[in-house]
Amino acid sequence: MDMRRTINDERPQPAAARHAQLPPAGGGALAAAHTQSAADSSHERRPGTQRIGFFLVPNFSMMALSSASEPLRAANRMSGKALYSWHLISADGEPVSSSSGFSLQPESAMTSSIAVDQLFVVASIGVENYRNERVFDFLRRYAATGKPLGGVSLGTMILARAGLLDKRRCTIHWEALKALADEFPSLTVTRELYCIDGDRLTCGGGTAAIDLMLDVIARAHNHRLAADVADQFLHTRIRASQESQKMAIQWRYGIEDRRIVNAITLMEQNIERPVAVQTLASLVGISPRQFERMWLKHFGMGPSQFYLGVRLKAAQKLLHESTSSIFDIAMQCGFASASHLGRCYRKLFDITPGQERAARGK
């Protein structure tokens, strides 16, 4: 069924309104209904109702979209008021497939005067070659109104390519942090869950979008409402924007020794230029011999072999999610050549990098 609806042009806004920024959350920053609106959120324009647009890029994440939109529905339900309405937009108004294969029908195509008060670009895997100048122009025109503009998950990459994150702090999903920083070395890219810098909002995607929207709700209304919304999703702790995107190393590996945690952190932060094991041992304050014994005890392998595995898994992610050549991936993961990567890769995964990429494409 065609769920598209026409969004009427807005009346011109006063200059002050065009440059309004999000108000600060009281007391500091707060530590899927998509095409369908809930009964308490009519798409008819009501006084005080904030219209939130979600621009869908092909292969967008359903998880990210749900995490960003569902708190709005819950805010309406918990307040008993139509505080928000939400609207799907695409480049051409045609259905957009998500990364999981579900397809959603937007209400409208992008226009120069789309009637939303905030707009979020939702993107996920497959944006490495996304260069739609019509979309970039649309986003630039929207940004010129001074209304809040955001990127969810890899939506940050789209905003950066449109030139809309210059002189702004931003974040992106942790797997794309390096790619964003490499493509735009002048950007201030953080590892935070989400980032609000004036009228630009970015988040790492996944459940981080819940925390971002809870912050947005708290700034526009109050912390009590945001907490009530969080409870609806069993989100028992509203995370602060600066918290880490990845699960803590001690939980991922089931270890408590702070020296090992620090060593693994250093390994993960130094993929392209591996640090010598002796240097790692010195940096965490133990001898190389003790360092080796600790690794054998906890992981059944030496630290060099473990570190190699970290780098090979990083290479595997790039093979799956980027179009970089195998040589470039080898360089990014600290290998001397493509053949060096190939030998190590086959030994660990029993397949070559080329075969891995070919199998992924089937």
Query: Tens of pLDDT along the chain (362 residues)?
Result: 333 333 333 333 333 333 345 655 543 344 433 433 333 333 445 558 999 999 999 999 999 999 999 999 999 999 999 999 999 999 999 999 999 999 999 999 987 557 899 999 999 988 888 999 999 999 999 999 999 999 999 999 999 999 999 999 999 998 888 889 889 999 999 989 999 999 999 999 999 999 999 999 999 999 999 999 999 999 988 888 877 777 678 777 888 899 999 999 999 989 999 999 999 999 999 999 999 999 999 999 999 999 999 999 999 988 887 778 999 999 999 999 999 999 999 999 999 999 998 886 54
| Same domain, residue pair 253 and 227 | no
Residue 349 lies in a domain: yes
Give me the pLDDT at residue 361, please.
59
CATH number of the domain encompassing residue 187: 3.40.50.880
| Same domain, residue pair 203 and 292 | no
| Same domain, residue pair 31 and 141 | yes
| Same domain, residue pair 19 and 46 | yes
CATH number of the domain encompassing residue 293: 1.10.10.60
Identify the CA nearest to 321 among candidates 195, 168, 113, 179.
Answer: 179
| Same domain, residue pair 58 and 184 | yes
Residue 60 lies in a domain: yes
Among 201, 232, 263, the domain-final residue is 232
**In angstroms, what CA-CA distances link 292 with 223, 251, 268, 315?**
49, 22, 18, 25
Residue 66 lies in a domain: yes
What is the number of domains present in the chain?
Answer: 2
| Same domain, residue pair 107 and 34 | yes
> 63 lies in which domain range?
15-232
| Same domain, residue pair 228 and 255 | no
Taking each helix axis from N to C end, the angle separating 338-349 and 303-321, rounded to the nearest 10 degrees, works out to: 100
| Same domain, residue pair 225 and 290 | no
| Same domain, residue pair 170 and 211 | yes
**In angstroms, what CA-CA distances link 313 with 28, 82, 98, 183, 251?**
38, 46, 25, 22, 18
| Same domain, residue pair 335 and 228 | no
Give me the pLDDT at residue 17, please.
37
Give me the pLDDT at residue 249, please.
80
State the Cα–Cα distance between residues 218 and 23, nearest whole angstrom.
10
Residue 5 lies in a domain: no
How many other CB atoms are found less than 10 A from the CB of residue 263?
Answer: 25
**In angstroms, what CA-CA distances link 74 with 68, 89, 150?**
11, 21, 20
Terminus-to-terminus CA distance in the chain, angstroms? 31
In three-state form (DSSP H/G/I as H, E/B as E, the rest C), the secondary structure along 26-37 is CCCCCCCCCCCC
| Same domain, residue pair 39 and 95 | yes
Give me the pLDDT at residue 125, please.
84
Give me the pLDDT at residue 112, please.
58
| Same domain, residue pair 94 and 152 | yes
Instruction: Say if residues 6 and 109 touch (Cβ distance below 8 Å).
Output: no
